[in-house]
Chains A and B, each alone.
Chain A
Amino acid sequence: MTGAAEDARLLRQLRVADFLSREAKLLDEWRLEEWLALFTDDARYVVPGTDDPQADPSRSLVLVDDDRERLGWRVKRLLSGHAHREFPWSRTRRIVSNVLVEDSPPGRIFAGASFVVWRFRHRHADPFIGHADYDLVDDGAGLRIAAKRITIDQESLSPNGALSMIL
């Protein structure tokens, strides 16, 4: 790769890493309305089960398969004070790393990152460890998320028991 192309790739990588760090901060601080605003109107947010990370949610049972509308309800629910597993909110800390940017068509960035999310509640420390794949819209108005798909590395949601917060 020539010097200029390599520089452009690294710059994109840096923009995405910066964006993902900001996304993680919004989630850690429970600023979920602002987090939701990062998504496009036709966005999809998917968390497959631990048994099959490749699962197609239109044919297989997964854990979460939200369009933008249901993602909105998810946020509303978590902010209501009546989502009992998250009221009071658990303390979380997301470490996002290994950000990689793939070849992408113009106006889009396909990217991936590994994460460790620590969740603290009821004197337990429950980690979620995995990887997130993003389809980002890059149209000059700042990055937005068109699709986010999670892979959880653990064999079972154990001992954490539920996906009560947002990964």
Chain B
Amino acid sequence: MREILVIAEHREGELRSSCLETISKAHEVADKGGLEVTSVIIGSNIKSLAEKLREYVSKVYLAENHEITYYDCEIYKHIVSKLIREVKPLMVLMGHTSYGMDLMPGLSSHLSLPLVTDCIDIELSNGKLNAIRQAYGGRVNVKVSLKPSETYLATLRAGVFQPAKPTQTKGEIVEVDVPPLELKVKHLEVIRPEIEDIDISKADIVVGVGLGIGAREKIPVVKELAETLGGVLGCSRPIVDRGWLPQTRQIGFSGKSIKPKIYIAVGISGAANHVAGIKGARTIVAINKDSGAPIFNISDYGIVGDLFQVIPILVQELKKVK
């Protein structure tokens, strides 16, 4: 049976959730196409992770070596390339994450295999891979097909698929050699996030400010809304990039995931990397002057309008109804 090979991702002794999500989608595709789902895990001290992983797939390729202390592009590329040449899987999948974004394009060009990234859906049709992905910051969906190939590569967007559930049987573990390599990119250390002033991931009420605010001096306009509600101020990435708010306030893929009762997004377009952090919000409200902004596709309530006209009145009215 041909394989769908999932490249396992782990950090600090845990499988990443994106990895289990990718495995679950792999099973869905495999069940329809008469394929089996396998996985490769690479690192040091990963026996227990491989044990866990075998509950989800029919085979775990275990590449263990005490020198691989972290995700390392060149080592991963080498091991996975060799495995692909030997096993000839029909598909190789990974999360569209800081590891997948790094490894997969290099692997694609290294092996001359077609790659499609950041997929929100994939299907096999007559042995060919089709995928749906997004462009223009989530404003459009794009259906694509890949060039016919013996093996297809794809990365799947995190947070889109339900994580896999353990299966009845445990997969077999196959040990894979880790050859000595002369590395040109060396892992040095992991740097953990800064200590926070406020933990926005625990707040019940969050107001997010985006680039629509236009200037640092204007941020108090939105901050006042957060304060009036007794909530906290979060933001999109460009606000942190410009140094207008600290990194601890960033909501999204490379920032925090929040799960408040209410999230109010002000001047935020709703790019996937931002939305990744607000999936747990119970009620989402968006204020944006562009009626086509993707944020409205995932909100419960919206106002299409200029935040500088809407917010001051909103603050005033909230003070009244309180």
Chain B binds chain A: no
